[in-house]
A = this chain, B = another copy of it.
């Protein structure tokens, strides 16, 4: 660890699949030596999208080269549509064409799309290549780069194909956030807030205190926020790597959020925005079901709004929501594991029928 460069480390404890998340300022140029040290490879494939690759690719490539790693670059088109079996197949070909073996590192530089696609390819090519995640969006930093979930989309839905594959290293440079559009930044904030809401009241209160400093990307707010948020997720994943129980809590806001995305056909709305609406809705339902004290939803909604996030469900008819919920992959037979808040900082999974999640007389869902 180069203490003067990387400022915080979060250790993800998963036995022999343990890895660390390194968080720093202006550290992209140091990643090569860490890759070399941890994986001991001399070959890599950098997977990225054009805007990110143009901006940060040369620094990363040079850093790999300086560490004695021969790297090639692979571009996927920007956007969710790149999480396809077609791009998976292209990337398989590119890696095999470059002579990849089981030591060849796959390095994902970009947001969630790049991380999920590259992660899935690394999980399945030669039954597993080492993968390094260099997330450049806030959402990818606090969500998709921690936990080992990888996935691609098929015609019937998002992330329906995937595998668990833990990265060997996650490298976060907070300076990459400066080029992120404000709306994308807010979307990432939704997951940060989620981590506080489901597991850590103190962190939630800390966010309430200084949300604007975080939004302005002040390092003294961003770095601890990333550290805390990743620690919460890492702790949950450590206790339940394969999503049999506790890890389900990370789906807070996602059941209805995902339904919103399906109904919108994933257009015009960011994942974090859909999750924000889903969380606001779930908190209100938690109160209505008598699970959370009055005021819980109000407190969550207030913070989400300050982050610039939407909190009202789009006005689709109730039956549209019900149908969208039924195709959600997390359903087990009939009931859905709905994540409810018991309070700010505490969540639990409640098995509910779709009709109980979206009750008949709820005006917001019927507008």
Contacts and interface: CB of A to CB of B under 8 A. Distances in A.
Given A161-B124, A163-B163, A101 B333 contact: yes
Interface in A133-183: 149, 151, 154-157, 160-164
A178 B56 CA distance: 62
A123 interface: yes
A329 B99 CA distance: 9
A364 interface: no
Contact size range, A: 35 or more
Nearest to A243: B127
Interface of A is mostly: mixed
Contacts of A120: 124
B126 A96 contact: no
A154 B85 contact: no
Contact of A329 (B42, B102, B156, B329): B102
A224 interface: no
Contact of A93 (B96, B128, B154): B154
B331 A92 contact: no
Copies per assembly: 2
Contacts of A93: 154-156
Contact of A123 (B85, B155, B163, B243): B163
A39 interface: no
A163 to B, nearest CB: 5
B126 A329 contact: yes
A149 B127 CA distance: 8
A118 to B, nearest CB: 15
A332 B333 CA distance: 45
Nearest to A92: B154
Given A161-B92, A162-B127, A163-B163, A331 B149 contact: no
Given A93-B154, A96-B154, A155-B93, A162 B101 contact: no
